[in-house]
Amino acid sequence: MTFARPDPISDPDTLPRMPAWVTSARAETLEDVAFLSGAALNHLHLVLGRDEVPQALLRDRLALSAAEACVGFSGRPERAGELRDAVYLLRPGDLPGPAGETCLAWRRAVERPVSIKALGRALPAFEPGQIATWLDAGKGGPVTRAAMVLEAVLREAPRGEVPALILADAALAQALGWDQIVPLLAAGLKRADLRKRGEDLRIACHRALTFSAIEAVRLAADLARRAAHLKAVAPKLRAKGAAEAVAMFLTRDAVAPAALPLPDRAARRLCDRLVDLGALRELTGRDTFRLYGV
């Protein structure tokens, strides 16, 4: 991504914290909520410009949160762990189901720079021309533009929360000069917010982005610390292919041992070794079909 780079320091503990006046403020008017969302997004912009933040991993983790929110909007019970299973434990020829499709859509949306082609890959049910028309529906500042795109999609596709929120985040990214989508709106909005229109929807989007930007900054700091620890212990790994495996863990929310570039037994040993070193977590709590992540 292209971000401002305020400081060359690479220690993850030096990442700037969101100001307390942003995290604790209570705003009611459009002007106040707009001010807070602008401050929060600007702070997130600065944090995302830091080299120590694992960008792809952060986007993938935020995509999971967005997928979980969208599944909840549709009234389904699946949560993050079940969404991971729906995607990472698929076998060739298997269908992921509605919840899995939602998760895949968000993961595909954040994998590549924003473009009509990339968005079409994430949202194959929609023609490129339709996606372009929806993206062009947004005018004005970043949050207003995102809210207008969200409203335009939901007006034509009332049950299209997933494409609406993906395209709204894409419009936000374009307006902010970010090369790739950073999922923010879905996790901050409530189901009732998606029925709002006009100024009410803009206010809901400002509130959602303030909340989600604060959470994204916290997550970025946590992942930066975890990524630094994984990089620090990587030289202790002697398995052939360990470097490639570490690179995968630094870019993906979860990895199955079978996906690593090592023989099956060696892959499982490597994952267990990294857990022992405190560099990875086992994400499922199962004895078999395990998934690991930073």
What pLDDT is recorded for position 16?
A: 85
Predicted confidence (pLDDT) per residue in 91-121, tens digit = 888 888 999 999 999 999 999 999 999 999 9
Distance CA 41, CA 45 (A): 6
Closest CA to 177 of 216, 145, 201: 145
57 contacts 294 by C-beta, under 8 angstroms: yes
For the chain, list residues with pLDDT below 70: 1-13
Of the CA atoms within 13 Å of residue 129, those in its CB half-sphere come to: 0
Residues 67, 42 contacting (CB under 8 angstroms) = no
Q: What is the pLDDT of residue 238?
A: 86
**pLDDT score at 271:** 97
What does residue 238 show for φ and ψ, rounded to 5 degrees? -105, -5
Nearest-angstrom CA–CA distance, 126 and 134: 11
- The angle formed by the CA atoms of residues 51, 253 and 168, to the nearest 5 degrees, is 80
Q: Please tell me the pTM assigned to this model.
A: 0.92
Q: CA-CA distance, 129 to 126, in Å (whole number)?
A: 8
What pLDDT is stored for residue 6 in this prediction? Answer: 40
C-beta neighbour count of 157 within 10 angstroms: 16
How far apart, in whole angstroms, are the C-alpha atoms of residue 279 and residue 81?
Answer: 20
Contacts of 228 (CB under 8 A, 6+ apart): 12, 52
